[in-house]
Amino acid sequence: MDKKYRDLGDLQIAGKGKSVIKGGILAKKFPQTSEEMVGKINKSKLAGIFVYALILFVIGAIYFLGSENKNITMGGDTTAGGDTISGDLKLLSMTYEPKPLHEGEKGNFTFIFSWDGDDNSKEFAVGLYVDNVLADEVTGRMDAYSSDEHSLYWMANDAGEKKISVCLDFQDKILERNESNNNKTLDITVHPIESVA
């Protein structure tokens, strides 16, 4: 066989990268010089480096998104992750003190809540609302099948009737079986400061 050609069955390649036709099939160019081969190898290396950098970027982004700010830990510090958690947050009770609450006093609103799920909960926020305005909040997680007690605070700056609500997962971070048991509301009276005679 002539040194200028390589036989590839029905395909025949000419030396120096020239194409020839044999059997009705157009042969593709193969690099024949060392410069052409180095060019192809360098392009492959650059593509490999790009893919490697992209993989590192994606891993970094996943790590960054998974490391949200953790203010407190309620009942545990691990999470099941993902939006397929089958569980239920439930606000069981809510009380406050001091009673009666006077203008200028700090109200302490204590609540008991539970997580009914096979896995630990994802991080979620609990909010204290006064007349539908967020007054205090806390974030945390719950262990599987656990309950906890926590307090949020509000400074009673003015007297009058107030609607005080605690809302679990008010940012809707957790997919739950029942969303209707996450809130409790108390109607309270903030008494004016008694005048000193």
Name residue 184's beta-bridge partners: 166
Q: Which two tokens stand for residue 158?
A: 């003015």
- Each residue's pLDDT, cut to its tens digit, for the chain (197 residues) gives 444 544 454 444 455 555 444 444 444 444 455 666 666 667 777 888 888 888 888 887 777 665 444 344 344 333 444 456 569 999 999 999 999 999 999 999 999 999 999 889 989 999 999 999 999 999 999 999 999 999 999 999 999 999 999 999 999 999 898 999 999 999 999 999 874 44
Measure the CA–CA gap between 173 and 68, rounded to whole angstroms. 12
187 and 91 part of one domain = yes
* DSSP label of 194: P
- The answer to whether residues 179 and 91 belong to one domain is yes
The type of residue at 17 is G
Give the chain's largest Cα–Cα span. 122
Domain that residue 133 falls in: 87-191
Cα–Cα distances in angstroms (integers) from residue 72 to residues 125, 137, 151, 166, in the given order: 10, 11, 12, 17
pLDDT of residue 197: 42
Give the number of domains in the chain: 2
129 within some domain: yes
Tell whether 62 and 115 lie within a shared domain.
no
